[in-house]
Amino acid sequence: MTATQGWPVGGDGGTRERSGAPGDGVPGDGAPGESAVEGGTPGDGTPRRRAPGEATRGDTVAAVVGQWRTVHPDLDTAPMEIIGRVNRCAALLQQAEDAPLRRAGLSRPEFDLLGALRRTGHELTPGDLARETFSSGAAVTKRLKQLTERGLVERRGDTRDRRVAHVRLTDAGRDVVDGILPEQLAYESAVLSALDADRQGQLAGLLGELLSRLEGHMRGLRV
């Protein structure tokens, strides 16, 4: 059993297998779930961990965690409470943030290519773009062809090596990125406004530490 099993993880609204999760209160069906952490305080005023099956509203991942604890009480499902929530938040955020991309006729991977060119501020080779966007070379080639046909990027050959191409944004491509990015940032700010600045900083630090460890692990696997 994987730590992420049981809730949607795709940004396009699709789901992976929701094994162990019935139709009520599971992520993705819009029904309220259960919290495995919040709610109730004992007599000394310290927070009490909510037992599996105790109902509260607002956290759909907890319902899945509770169900897995019932099925496999011998397994430590605590990682699901973190990984599952990270995946669930990412899926919900991406669904909302993809709306302006769809209006512009772009996919998320295509916008990532445009964004890489915009934020670096200079030409990149297809290989550079593959590394910047964590994509395969074949996928980048296909997306660049589509973006070139739309007039959002342009390519030029290297004067010393005909096998190498250099890619840059056109004015139209720059306008697309600069038009979409503020809308996405405004949405993200609104979502994070539920947390004060200190808690946002703490969350950013913890996620940064986790991401750094994961990226280091993946680099080690490629060596």
Helix (H, G, I), strand (E, B) or coil at 50: coil
213: tokens are 């460890």
* Residue 143 in domain: yes
Please tell me the pTM assigned to this model.
Answer: 0.67
**Which of 81, 96, 127 is where one domain is finished?**
81
| β-strands 165-169, 153-157 pairing | antiparallel
Give, as one character, the DSSP assignment of residue 5: T
Task: For residues 71 and 119, state if they share a domain.
Answer: no
Range of the domain at 121: 104-183
Q: Which of 64, 57, 76, 90 is nearest to 7 (CA)?
A: 64
CATH number of the domain that residue 158 is part of: 1.10.10.10
* Residue 122 in domain: yes
Burial (0-12, 13-18, 19+ Cβ within 10 Å), 77: buried
Task: Tell me the H-state helices in 55-125.
Answer: 60-71, 78-103, 108-120
Domain count, the chain: 2
For each of the chain's 223 residues, which pLDDT tens digit applies?
A: 433 333 333 333 333 333 333 333 334 433 333 333 333 334 444 444 444 434 344 588 999 999 999 999 999 999 999 999 999 999 998 888 888 899 999 999 999 999 999 999 999 999 999 999 989 999 999 999 999 999 999 999 877 877 889 999 999 999 999 999 999 999 999 999 999 999 999 999 999 999 999 988 877 776 5
Task: For residues 66 and 118, state if they share a domain.
Answer: no
Please calculate the CA angle 192-102-186 and round it to the nearest 5 degrees. Answer: 25
